[in-house]
Amino acid sequence: MAVFDAALRAQAEQVKARYPAGRERSAIMPLLYLAQSVEGHVTREGMREVGELLAITTAEVEAVASFYTMLRLRETGTHVVSVCTNLSCALVGANDVYEAAHEAAGIPHGEELSEDKLITLHEEECLGCCELAPVVQVNAANHDRVTPERIREIVETLRRGEVPEPARGPAIRDFKQASRVLAGVEVPT
Amino acid sequence: VSEPVRVLTAHWDDPSVIPLKGYEAAGGYRALRSALAMSSGDLVQVMKDSGLRGRGGAGFPTGMKWSFVPQDTGKPTYVTVNFDESEPGTCNNRELVEREPHALIEGTAIAARAIECHTAFIYVRGEYLWQGLLVQRAVEEAYAAGYLGKDIMGSAYDLDIVVHRGAGAYICGEETALLSSLEGFRGQPRLRPPFPAVEGLYESPTLINNVETLMNVPHIVANGADWFKSMGTEKAPGTKMFTVSGKVERPGNYELPLGTPFGELLELAGGMLGGARLKAWTPGGSSTPFLTADHMDVGLDFESISEAGSLLGTGAVIVLDESDCMVEAARRLTEFYAHESCGKCTPCREGTWWAQRVLSRIEQGYGREADIPLMADMGKNILFKAFCALADGAVSPIQSSLRYFMDEYEAHVREGRCPVTGVGPGRAMQDAAGELSVDEVVEAIP
């Protein structure tokens, strides 16, 4: 397997074992997160191998993978920056933050990936942190009450190869690490 | 103003309760010990007597829900915790877990015990990466201390808890969609009946409860149904978590007895930001119809909010002031539903997509007179016409903003710009746009 090497395959088996016998298909989302943690997004080969691990077809895997926005089927930056523009955030300035993010990352409207492939910018629906709006996540780590100045700093920090300190919880190195954490195979320090 | 009652938030100022030792020191897991000494039937009865109603939005009586799960089908029973908190404006589950993760584990274990379940799942929305880690750590600590696993506290009762992460789909908060997702499929709702209580996860009897609901459970077991009924209203006992966001001085999560007037919550949240005037608010998140400044005295409970023409939902109060455009608010929320519609039912999939386009046109100053009745008509054609409540929720912001702010919609169309923000090309430009086809108009929208 090109995506799941021997070590990852062993982890995949552990993930499957979380679910009742005969119900291993429940592991499809964590397995897709594992595939994503290798390639930065879920590729066709990743889906084929997940299908092989679960004894289902690639088409069945794709039906699931294509449903969920955090499983990314397109080429994705090292970091995923998500800016919430839903109502609670919009009421306190999220639009300006989103515009500043586009500008700082050098990503034109209608596109999501920066030219250097460092950042994927995602206009996000509610991130469930509405009392701390406007909310931004970098690789699913939260930044509270973000201003346009702050989002520019966050982008600059990523450009320097550093990880911006989140408001709470551990810093997540990159989107691949976030995917491993979400697969439940890594606990960041 | 009534004093905020602190049941679920009693330990919020005390971070020592986050790890197991501190939680135990504060009395944690004593309710589970009591529950293990009770029969399944007695536990269900206590929950019925308490009058606790589900906090996830629908307000269904929790004890009754527990009693619907048959334990004699020969199949295993399952508990599934809905921690897929995604309703825009809602984040109390998140903070409840951040501040006292073991309370969720204890509540889940008691619920599991009540339906004789040996495997429970906690479905955590993917975006709650850190909160999922907190849950995972609490589960591991509980195993190590013998509160989970085999022969819990010598009771011969076994329970495993599996933490499962979502991946960014609002619809998975709908209970049958959550089950589809947990089984490894697209998160699309299923037809009911059969209800999950009878045929849920893996075609087996399944209890699905919200995080806040389950966190009430240890308190009820420890203090009794009568204590619980001493708070809140007769039909809606207990406290409720309210998330206040938007134009207030102190946005945050607040715990109040059910039935507390909205005005008191607003005051707790520091009042309107900068002393501006209240324009509109949602009582329970984006799926609940907007109310207005005329509803200041409405009690925050299922019945009172319903009488006022809205829904208590998740208790997510989004506050708008006079500088906010209602068409924009409706458009933003409609975009959300268009994005999150699972695509299964045509009225929802197509309706939300078209509604956001038309609302966007009105908002930008390119609306036509026919657009306003079109929006009202679309609402009627989506409401109760789809499988699940997502579609009904999508109609709420549109219909309620039309009901209370028709002037504002009409002014957008008449003046060709927003009467609140001034955004839009103006009437002359709008007339010119009238000569264009729909596609050309949409193209012209910046």
Mean pLDDT in residue range B400-422: 95
Q: Which pLDDT belongs to residue B428?
A: 72
From chain B residues 150-189, the ones with a CB under 8 A of any chain A CB are 162-170, 181-187
Average pLDDT, chain A: 97
Residue B109 clears pLDDT 70, i.e. is over it: yes
Q: Which SS3 state, helix, strand or coil, does residue A84 take?
A: strand
Chain A positions touching B333 (Cβ under 8 A) are 86-87
Q: How far is CA B207 from CA B47, B80, B198, B223, B276, in A?
A: 14, 6, 9, 23, 44
Mean pLDDT in residue range B362-378: 93
Each residue's pLDDT tens digit, B309-357: 999 999 999 999 999 999 999 999 999 999 999 999 999 999 999 999 9
Q: B117 vs B439, which has greater pLDDT?
A: B117
Mean pLDDT in residue range A151-168: 97
CA dihedral B223, B225, B230, B234 (to 10 degrees): 160
Cβ atoms < 10 Å from Cβ of B17: 23
Residue A76 clears pLDDT 80, i.e. is over it: yes
Chain B positions touching A67 (Cβ under 8 A) are 169, 186-187, 342
Work out the minimum CA distance from B329 to partner chain A, whole angstroms. 6
From chain A residues 95-114, the ones with a CB under 8 A of any chain B CB are none
Sheet holding B239-246, edge to edge: B252-257, B239-246, B316-321, B278-282, B291-292
Each residue's pLDDT tens digit, B11-58: 999 999 999 999 999 999 999 999 999 999 999 999 999 999 999 988
A169 at interface of B, judged by CB pairs closer than 8 A: yes
A171 at interface of B, judged by CB pairs closer than 8 A: no
Residue B1 clears pLDDT 60, i.e. is over it: no
For residue A151, give the H/E element and its range. Answer: helix A148-159
Mean pLDDT in residue range B133-151: 98
Work out the minimum CA distance from B168 to partner chain A, whole angstroms. 5
pTM higher than the cut 0.90: yes
Chain B positions touching A183 (Cβ under 8 A) are 165
Chain B positions touching A71 (Cβ under 8 A) are 167-168
Say which of B187, B328, B333 has its CB closest to residue A67: B187
pLDDT level of residue B358 (50, 70, 90 thresholds):
very high
In terms of CA atoms, which chain A residue is nearest residue B322? A91
Say which of A82, A91, A187 has its CB closest to residue B246: A91
